Amino acid sequence: MSRLFRGAYIVWIALRYGMDELLLTSLDRHWLRVVARIVSVGRNLEAPRGQRMREALERLGPIFVKFGQVLSTRRDLLPQDIADEFARLQDRVPPFSPDVAVASIERAFGRPVSEIFSSFEREPVASASIAQVHFATLKGRDGQERDVAVKVLRPDMLPVIEKDLSLMRMLAGWVESLSADARRLKPREVVAEFDKYLHDELDLVREASSAAQLRRNMEGLNLVMIPEMIWDYCQSDVIVMERMKGVPVNQIERLRAAGVDIPKLARDGVTIFFTQVFRDGFFHADMHPGNIQISLAPDTFGRYIALDFGIVGTLTEFDKEYLAQNFAAFFRRDYKRVAELHIESGWVPASTRVDEMEAAIRSVCEPYFDRPLKEISLGMVLMRLFQASRRFDVEIQPQLVLLKKTLLNVEGLGRQLDPDLDLWHTAKPFLETWMMEQMGPQKLINELKDQAPRYAKLLPDLPRLLHDYLKQNPADNRRELEQLIAEQRRTNRLLQGLIYGGIGFALGLIAMQVILRVRLF
């Protein structure tokens, strides 16, 4: 019953804010518009449509605000007025009371705010769907003060999210029961993934640990800065971190006036994303402009500043390998290999004809090569691939939904910074590096290093194990020992062959790398 009430409320809000005007204008059904007006008696449509849509999403709660944030990064898909209003959802959602924020901080740390901070700005600097941020100056134990940002979770978030997730689960079940094609999309699994991400985002300690992991991963790249978490002041509903100072990435004219190389900034953004995905398998998955700033400080000029790590994505080694090989084959325009990879992964039935799937992928991807980003829409490519996938019963992989959403965010960000960005050319070095690591001698060396501790522990026990074995039955053992000696001789000959073969194999790998560098890209 609560789900039905929630569904009715969503419909009422949509009507109240005139969202039906956008949905029904293309339908020649006058009676539908009349019914909508009757149901929402007293509504006022004087405000601009973008403002009304943004306010409707804010009224509906965090899940809908998240949806608006994703759309806000795709200005190529939205009218200008709606895109401008949705951009406000990134960090300008109406804040909750500063008194509530202060009470949450004092409850979390068991002390008055005045004992923790020498100054605390009651007006939040940013307010989003899940939490809001206040600037403060932290008192140090050694007398040193430090500028910090205090992130406070919105109160009573869990019940609101649970209601919407319950409704989404119900709708997903209905969708699966209505269509076999819908079952291929795995809507319930996708909702389960969304459920997990949202609940993770409600635990700020988890966010802090994700930030710490990304900070370690990005050390040495010198392209992105991630705030340090102050662990003495991190709780599930309040975290304190290093204050970062930068300019929002979507303020392009301000960045250009400060002397930032905007095309390089776009390339660096792609570099950061692909490094996190293919090298680390651990990536920032909420990369809308409200969470990305650019440093103008002299010693870090032009570097990205990443904020808000409530949603991070992870990839298994299998997923990384599958994706990297697909991208590599795609960049080589080897559509046959792309089709083979789908079959090998089990994402399409084994009976699928490779040549037919190859032709379908070629028809989707070939028109987009050698074009700048302003002439490419990854959203359109993914949509066409999705349409083609229906013919071959491709199963949607829920664990990759977050990656696809982030990839669309990255494309939208890159499009705003530099429409002439060559996304494919920028991504190639990462795939080349990945291929070398997976196929080259370094991979073998790394595997040996990983196994070395295990063998080092086992080798000292071998003489004792052999002695215990020989003591069991001398007569039988003599026969077995003779067999063992004969087997050892054969093993020695085999070992010699393996050594020579290994040398040949290593030379072959070196030759393969040379060929790959010449032909792969």
- By annotation, the residues acting in catalysis are 286
- The C-alpha atoms of residue 386 and residue 389 are separated, in whole angstroms, by 5
Three-state DSSP class for residue 293: strand
CA proximity to 236, closest of 109, 426, 98: 109
Taking the C-alpha atoms of residue 480 and residue 475, their distance in angstroms, rounded to an integer, is 9
Of 339, 284, 280, the residue nearest 311 (C-alpha): 284
Show the tokens assigned to 230. 């102050």
Tokens 């987009």, residue?
368
Q: Which distant-in-sequence residues (6+ apart) come within 8 Å of 442 by Cβ? A: 436
Bridge partners, residue 138, by sequence: 117, 146
Segment holding 294, helix H or strand E: strand 292-294
Tokens 């010699």 found at: 496
Q: Is 58 exposed, middle or buried (0-12, 13-18, 19+ CB in 10 A)?
A: buried
* Cα→Cα distances 294→72, 219, 224, 226, 229, Å: 19, 17, 9, 12, 19
Region of 308 (left: φ > 0; alpha: ψ -120 to 50; beta: rest) is left
| Contact by Cβ (8 Å): 458, 302 | no
Query: Distance between CA 394 and CA 414 in Å, rounded?
Result: 29
Q: How far apart are CA 209 and CA 312, in angstroms?
A: 11
3-state secondary structure of 28: coil
Nearest 10 degrees: CA dihedral of 438, 328, 339, 188? 80
Helix segments in 110-186, DSSP class H: 113-116, 157-178, 180-184
Token duo for residue 515: 């060929």
d(CA 219, CA 182): 43
Strand duo 229-234 + 224-225: pairing: unpaired
